Amino acid sequence: MRYSEVRGKAKYSKKGQIGLIEMIMVIFIVTVLIVVGIVFYTGVLKQSIQKKGGEILSQKAEVELRAIQGMPEIECSKNVRREDCIDTLKLLIAKEVIDGEEKGYYATIFGRKRVLVKQVYPELQGQVENQECTQEKYNQEVYPNNCDTWIIYESRPATITEVNKISVPVSLYFPNAAEDRKNEYRIGELIIESYR
Amino acid sequence: MKEKRGIAPVFQYIFVAIAGIIILSFFVQSALRQSNISKEVGNIQTVNALEDNLRALEVATNANKEIQLAAKQGITVNKPVCGVLRVENSPQIRTQEAIFSNTELKADKLKVWTVSWEYPYRIMNFFFLADGQTEYIVQGTGRLAEELVGIQRQGEPCCDNFEFIPKIFNVKTNSYTPQSGQVKKYVFINQEPTVAPAPTAEVLKIQTDGEKCDEQGNREDSECTGVVTFYKEEGQETTVFFGKAMLYGSIFAKDKKSYDCSLEAAFERMEKVTKVYEKRAEKLFAKDMQDQLSPNPTYLRIKESLHTLITTLENKKIKVRQLTQADLQEIAQQKEIIQNLNEVLRSEGKGQVF
């Protein structure tokens, strides 16, 4: 074989190899770009789904607020009072039933939430503020001036990433209120804290 | 030499083709997956929206609505187990609501009616769902059969809050000639069925206890009780209803099995609400005792009656699928006692329990 023929053969072989390497590099870079694009898209999609999830949770909380306000377990029954109101005697009982002995049942209704009622008017200040109303407080002569909060239900997850709080004003009915043994009305707030 | 030079470009083309196919199949797979995810997300949104709509209607004593869905979708209620709601392939949602309907609905516009169930105090709302594929044909000569379809008798003083099955449901009367093609549900009120059950014809008989279910004299809905018979090609199944809302439920339920699902949910909630009133009576008695030397014994009697009702409900809950008229009588009697004691409190000028 002459020298020029050998040189030619080597030249073509190197050209082929270079061509192949170029091909591989092009495909590699295109793949990297595609992967980067997918990662970016997935990130944006995930954020959008999380935002949607937050909106759905908000909407659900608003619907549940109205539904809880009308639950027979806490609302004033028609022979007790015709006006829409929340019966504070039932609120005391709710703690024993809804957040106590029947919690398993009500967990499917409420889910991961804290549901409470707080008196806002007349304002009770000082040591009484944020005091939970319990059976002991109910038995005292000064009730309902010795507490302003009734916790109906509470179920927190192990880790909380988001809390969505929503509330609505309600009329609170006190049957046989302490001061003069007459039934009494006050103004309160029904609060739902939804956990994620 | 020439043959070897010819191999390299061919190999390149093959390599490019293979790489291109791999990339293309990856994108096609991603697109298909994305499409499935969008569909699933849509189904989940629909089932959540449906649940929200039902919860929003819960505050009404009597309301109806047509819920527009994104497209004609399959909705499964109380299937395969009681208390679940599902749209197409969405995850099942557990619900404590009492929903009376066909177990499988297919609609782009879902018809919903809700009525408050009181026995004798308000316990929960019942929901009645239909997809518009079924014609309800009410047959009967009595007042109730007319009232169910919205006919008020001329010249007779009627009633506050006259209640009837809303027009959005396809409810027809005796004189109607059924159209072919649609599924028909024949509802016979206090008379024997004159139609045999068939694949497109469901048959139901409602036998009321006396005349307590019609609207004459503004009767309380809780006085309406009776027996329901679901007729199937292989036989018939009987159960009971107590309260007007439950009578409506028997009309919309697919069969006894589906009806029993909602009956169970109703018993469960009735037990919880009754516990609340039992404790209320107890606290009122305790407060009365604090205030007076001789507290009112009616509070104690009503507390004990409520406790008896709770025990009865717990026992009946276990056999809810085999309830008889005797069970119905037992619950009805206890309800009467509780109602009367509550009235006694009112007449004595004391705060009522409910």
Convert the pLDDT of each residue in B52-89 to its tens digit.
899 999 989 899 999 998 888 899 999 888 999 998 88
- The model's pTM: 0.86
Q: Which of B12, B121, B123 sits opposite A23 (nearest CB)?
A: B12
The parts of chain B modelled with pLDDT lower than 70 are: 1-7, 152-162, 175-181, 216-219, 293
Our CA-based measurement puts residue B25 at a distance from the nearest CA of chain A, in whole angstroms, of: 14
ipTM of the complex: 0.82
Question: Is B15–A70 a contact, with Cβ atoms under 8 angstroms apart?
Answer: no
pLDDT for residue A190 = 96
Q: Could you tell me which chain A residue has the CA closest to the CA of B291?
A: A181
CA B108 to chain centre: 19
Average pLDDT, chain A: 85
- Write the pLDDT tens digit of every residue in A135-148: 899 888 888 889 99
Question: Is B342–A79 a contact, with Cβ atoms under 8 angstroms apart?
Answer: yes
Q: Is A42 in CB contact (< 8 Å) with chain B? A: no
pLDDT for residue A179 = 45
pLDDT for residue B162 = 66
Question: Is B283–A92 a contact, with Cβ atoms under 8 angstroms apart?
Answer: yes
Instruction: With a cut of 90, say whether residue A73 has pLDDT above it.
Output: yes
**Greatest mean pLDDT among A82-86, A128-132, B122-126, B220-224:** B122-126
Our CA-based measurement puts residue B131 at a distance from the nearest CA of chain A, in whole angstroms, of: 24
Q: Evaluate whether B60 touches B117 at the Cβ level (below 8 Å).
A: no
Mutate to test the interface with B, among A55, A58, A176 (most CBs of B within 10 A): A176
Strands in B122-130's sheet, in edge-to-edge order, are B93-94, B84-87, B62-77, B104-118, B122-130, B98-100
Question: Is B283–A93 a contact, with Cβ atoms under 8 angstroms apart?
Answer: yes
* Both tokens assigned to B288: 């009365």
Kindly list the residues from chain B whose CB atom is less than 8 angstroms away from the CB atom of residue A106.
Answer: 272
Kindly list the residues from chain B whose CB atom is less than 8 angstroms away from the CB atom of residue A69.
Answer: 59
